[in-house]
Structure 1
Amino acid sequence: MTTSPGQSDQIDDIQGRLESRGWRSESGEGWRWVDHTFQNDDATLRIRHLPNVNVIRFDFESAEHLARLSISFEDSPNQILDLITRDQSSLSEETWRAFIASLIELSPRILSLADEDGDDEVIVNPDAGVAALREVDWE
């Protein structure tokens, strides 16, 4: 996979940022993509990002639940990464709804959402993304 210098810098920046916050590289170490995980007491979090695609895939997995979000961004994923790394240590089933509310306030474009059944729901517009996030059932 080839990347332009700007894309390479962005991947390096994201990798460095995550690793400085305790994230482990899963498969992207030394390569031109991001595939990192972080574990707190309640959940495993995973972020994946490929160059040339302005999408971050974020996974939340606890003993009881799994949720996957594909989030689009315009020029930089910094706001999304700020939110994720700010809440990474406390993110749990109990704090998930507040995290989602913060994500909705940020208003990124949600492209797909999946939960325990593993089937991605493709989101066709921003309102549908907000509605789908609010409907994830944690009970």
Structure 2
Amino acid sequence: MTSIPRHSVAVAGVTVREDGRILVVQRRDNGHWEAPGGVLEQDETFEQGVVREIAEETGVTVAVDHLSGVYKNMTIGVVAIVYRCHFVSGAPTTTAESQRVEWLTADEVEDRMMPAYAVRILDALTAEPCSRAHDGTIVHPC
């Protein structure tokens, strides 16, 4: 009998303010800049998970607009479901999971983030959802 592959499912939110700046965090555990997100819990929908993760990591309340992309790290089997969101309330603050929280421009996102994470944000700024695979570094096109 063949074993069933196991994947970890994560969610992330690309929150865009009216001025076009994007909410990002610098993680405490590895220092990487990313869109806020994390592992989806068993008893929540994708959208509930995105809202929870953004609040936990930034102190900001958001509303989900639409699915912007699905990404799979082929090396470690993590599937990330990414949503475009908009700001509702709150002041960005650091948390147990984030050492810095900032509103960046798209150019700043490209400068600070690894390609596998920057592409999630840049894809969310376009009109069409995208699905991509990567190995942690090299990202395949939509």
Normalising by structure 1, we get a TM-score of 0.30
Larger relative CO (CA 8 A, sep 6+): 1 or 2? Answer: 2
TM-score w.r.t. length of structure 2: 0.30
